C-alpha cells in the first residue's frame, strides 16, 4: 500500500536523535529538557494516595475540579488576575496537547500563523496538519529580540494566530513588559488569537518578572496560555499540563479536547491539586534553577564558549564560534560521540536551518552532572 504523507517534510525530532545518540555513547545528556533529579517525594506520595483512595476512573472532561481551582488561585496569587475554574481552565496531556488543540480549534486551510524562530518544534507541524500556513520571523542571535515593526509587516488579512513563548525555549530569553504591550497594541481590534506558551513561567531569573499574557487585559481577551506541570514539578514523564482562556475561546478548545483525549490521568491530577495547596511548591523554583544556572556558568566561565546568561527556562545557549566553524549539527554530534556530552544544535529550531554556531544545554541536572559536563566543555 502507498500512502501520501500528511507531513512529508517532518523528520524525527532532534530530541529523539540526540537522546538516542547520548544513550548509545553513554554521554552526559544535556540535550532534552528534563531534570535528572527526582520530583518531590511529597508529590509522589500524594499521587499514590490518590490512586489508593479511588481516583482511578475518568476525570471530568475539562479536568479534576480541585486542580482547576488550585490553578485559578495560583493566577490570582501571581498575577492578581484569574481564570474561572468551571469555564476557563482545562487540564491537558502536557502543554503539547494543549498547543495542538488550540491550533486545531482555530486554524483552517490557508490561515496564517506567525511563529518566531527559533521555535519549539511542535508548533509548525500542528499548523501544517490543519492546513494552515506558518509564517516565520527569525530572531537574531545572541539577543533574540522581537522586532515588533517587522511582525506588524507580516500581518495580513489571513493572519489568524500569533504564537509567543516566554521564557523562551531554546534561547533562554524572556519577553519584557514593553514587548507584551507592543503585542497587545498590534493585535488590538483584530480577530487574531494569541497562543502564549508559558511552560517556563516559574523559571525567571535575576529578579525579573514573568510577563504573562494574562496581565494585559486586551491581550488576555484573545489569548490561550499553555502551561506544563512536567516542567514545573520535575516530572515531564507524567505529561500533564493545562490551558487557560476566556470562556468563549475555551468552549471551542474543549470541542477538540473532548475528542482528542477526553480527560487526563486522574490520580496525577488529584495529587497535583493537593500538592499545589502550598504555593511554595512553585514560588521557590526560580531561585532553585538560578542556582543551577549560576553554578554551570561559573564552572565554564574560562572555557572557549561565549554566552549571555539565560534569563529564564532551564536552558543555556553557548556560542562555539571561537572554537570551530563546523556546522552545529555536526559539532553537536561530535561532542556527543567523541567527548561524551549531548546538547541540541540551535539550527533545528531556526528558519531554513540557519546556523549561528550555537548549542543549547539543559541545566536541570544534579550539581554532579553539571560539574562533569563543565569539565568536558573546559577541555574543548
Ligand atoms: C516551549 C515548550 N512548550 C511546550 C513544551 C511541551 O511541554 P509538555 O511536556 O508539557 O508537553 C515544551 C517541552 O519541552 C517546551 O519547551
Q: Is the pTM of this model over 0.85?
A: yes
Residue 2 has pLDDT above 90, yes or no: no
What string of DSSP letters covers 224-261?
A: EEEEEHHHHTT-GGG--EEEE--HHHHHHHHHHHHHHT
Number of structural domains found in the chain: 2
Question: Mean pLDDT across the stretch 370-374?
Answer: 98
Lowest-pLDDT range, 25-34, 177-186, 204-213, 356-365?
A: 25-34
Phi then psi for residue 165, to 5 deg, are -140, 110
Same domain, 292 and 272: no
* Ligand 1, atom nearest to 236 Cα: 9
Q: Is 120 near ligand 1, meaning CB less than 6 Å away?
A: yes
User: 256, 278, 300: which is the final residue of a domain?
Assistant: 278
Percent of the residues in the chain that have a pLDDT greater than 70, as a whole number: 100
Q: Is 96 near ligand 1, meaning CB less than 6 Å away?
A: yes
Question: Mean pLDDT across the stretch 296-311?
Answer: 98
Instruction: Name the band, by pLDDT with cuts 50, 70 and 90, for residue 10.
Output: confident
User: What integer pLDDT is reported at residue 181 of this predicted model?
Assistant: 98
Same domain, 170 and 317: no
Q: What is the pLDDT of residues 45-93, one digit of tens each?
A: 999 999 999 999 999 999 999 999 999 999 999 999 889 999 999 999 9
User: 252, 278, 304: which is the final residue of a domain?
Assistant: 278
Residue 13 has pLDDT above 90, yes or no: no
Lowest-pLDDT range, 4-8, 155-159, 295-299?
A: 4-8
Residue 136 has pLDDT above 90, yes or no: yes
Residue 202 has pLDDT above 90, yes or no: yes
CA of 228 to the centre of ligand 1 (A): 7
Q: Tell me the C-alpha distance between 166 and 157, whole Å.
A: 26
Residue 165 has pLDDT above 90, yes or no: yes
Q: What is the CATH number of the domain that holds 192?
A: 3.40.640.10
Angle at 261 between CA 255 and CA 267, to 5 degrees: 125
Asked whether residue 46 is domain-assigned, the answer is no
Determine the angle formed by the axes of helices 367-378 and 285-299, rounding to 10 degrees: 30
CA of 94 to the centre of ligand 1 (A): 7
Same domain, 105 and 200: yes
Asked whether residue 3 is domain-assigned, the answer is no
Same domain, 157 and 237: yes
Residue 319 has pLDDT above 90, yes or no: yes
Question: Mean pLDDT across the stretch 272-276?
Answer: 98
Helices (H), the chain: 14-24, 41-52, 65-79, 94-106, 123-129, 148-154, 177-187, 217-222, 229-232, 247-260, 266-275, 280-283, 285-299, 328-339, 367-378
Residue 170 has pLDDT above 90, yes or no: yes
* Ligand 1, atom nearest to 120 Cα: 1
Q: What is the pLDDT of residues 204-261, one digit of tens each?
A: 999 999 999 999 999 999 999 999 999 999 999 999 999 999 999 999 999 999 999 9
Closest CA to 122 of 96, 148, 147: 96
Asked whether residue 116 is domain-assigned, the answer is yes
Instruction: Name the band, by pLDDT with cuts 50, 70 and 90, for residue 17.
Output: confident
Same domain, 272 and 294: no
Same domain, 267 and 289: no
Domain residue limits at 206: 57-278
Question: Mean pLDDT across the stretch 283-289?
Answer: 94
Q: Is 33 near ligand 1, meaning CB less than 6 Å away?
A: yes
Q: What is the CATH number of the domain that holds 334?
A: 3.90.1150.10
CA of 77 to the centre of ligand 1 (A): 24
Lowest-pLDDT range, 22-36, 88-102, 185-199, 208-222?
A: 22-36
Question: Mean pLDDT across the stretch 263-291?
Answer: 96
Same domain, 182 and 70: yes
Our measurement of the distance from residue 308's CA atom to the centroid of its chain's CA atoms, rounded to an integer in Å, reads 20
Same domain, 223 and 333: no
Same domain, 85 and 154: yes
Lowest-pLDDT range, 15-24, 141-150, 255-264, 271-280?
A: 15-24
Same domain, 20 and 108: no
User: 217, 244, 278: which is the final residue of a domain?
Assistant: 278
Question: Mean pLDDT across the stretch 306-326?
Answer: 97
Same domain, 264 and 121: yes
Closest CA to 127 of 7, 224, 242, 262: 7
User: What integer pLDDT is reported at residue 11 of this predicted model?
Assistant: 80
Q: Is 230 near ligand 1, meaning CB less than 6 Å away?
A: yes
CA of 168 to the centre of ligand 1 (A): 11
Closest CA to 377 of 295, 326, 320, 328: 320
Asked whether residue 81 is domain-assigned, the answer is yes
Same domain, 182 and 97: yes
Amino acid at each position: 500500500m502507498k500512502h501520501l504523507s500528511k507531513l512529508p517534510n517532518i523528520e524525527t525530532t532532534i530530541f529523539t536523535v540526540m537522546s538516542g545518540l547520548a544513550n548509545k555513547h553513554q554521554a552526559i545528556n544535556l540535550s532534552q529538557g528534563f531534570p535528572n533529579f527526582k520530583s518531590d517525594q511529597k508529590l509522589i506520595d500524594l499521587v499514590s494516595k490518590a490512586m489508593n483512595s479511588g481516583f482511578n476512573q475518568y476525570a471530568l472532561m475539562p479536568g479534576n475540579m480541585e486542580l482547576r481551582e488550585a490553578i485559578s488561585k495560583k493566577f490570582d496569587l501571581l498575577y492578581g488576575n484569574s481564570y474561572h475554574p468551571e469555564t476557563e481552565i482545562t487540564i491537558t496531556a502536557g502543554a503539547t496537547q494543549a498547543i495542538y488543540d488550540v491550533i486545531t480549534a482555530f486554524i483552517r486551510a490557508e490561515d496564517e500563523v506567525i511563529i518566531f524562530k527559533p521555535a519549539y518544534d511542535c508548533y509548525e507541524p500542528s499548523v501544517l496538519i490543519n492546513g494552515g500556513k506558518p509564517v516565520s520571523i527569525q530572531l537574531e542571535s545572541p539577543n533574540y529580540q522581537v522586532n515588533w515593526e517587522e511582525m506588524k509587516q507580516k500581518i495580513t488579512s489571513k493572519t489568524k494566530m500569533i504564537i509567543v513563548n516566554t521564557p523562551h525555549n531554546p534561547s533562554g530569553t524572556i519577553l519584557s513588559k514593553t514587548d507584551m504591550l507592543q503585542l497587545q497594541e498590534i493585535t488590538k481590534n483584530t480577530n487574531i488569537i494569541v497562543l502564549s506558551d508559558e511552560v517556563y513561567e516559574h523559571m525567571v531569573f535575576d529578579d525579573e518578572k514573568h510577563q504573562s499574557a494574562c496581565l494585559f487585559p486586551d491581550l488576555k481577551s484573545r489569548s490561550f496560555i499553555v502551561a506544563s506541570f512536567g516542567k514545573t514539578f520535575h516530572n515531564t514523564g507524567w505529561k500533564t499540563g493545562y490551558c487557560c482562556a476566556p470562556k468563549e475561546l475555551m468552549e471551542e478548545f474543549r470541542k477538540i479536547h473532548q475528542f482528542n483525549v477526553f480527560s487526563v490521568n486522574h490520580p496525577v491530577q488529584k495529587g497535583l491539586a493537593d500538592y499545589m495547596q502550598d504555593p511554595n511548591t512553585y514560588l521557590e523554583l526560580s531561585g532553585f534553577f538560578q542556582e543551577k544556572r549560576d553554578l554551570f556558568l561559573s564552572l565554564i566561565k574560562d572555557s572557549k564558549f561565549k554566552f549571555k546568561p539565560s534569563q529564564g527556562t532551564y536552558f543555556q545557549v553557548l556560542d562555539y564560534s571561537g572554537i570551530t566553524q563546523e556546522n552545529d549539527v555536526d559539532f553537536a554530534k561530535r561532542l556527543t560521540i567523541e567527548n561524551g556530552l549531548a546538547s541540541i544544535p540551535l539550527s533545528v529550531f531556526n528558519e531554513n536551518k540557519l546556523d549561528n554556531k550555537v548549542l543549547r544545554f539543559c541545566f536541570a541536572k544534579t550539581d554532579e552532572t553539571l560539574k562533569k559536563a563543565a569539565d568536558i566543555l573546559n577541555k574543548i
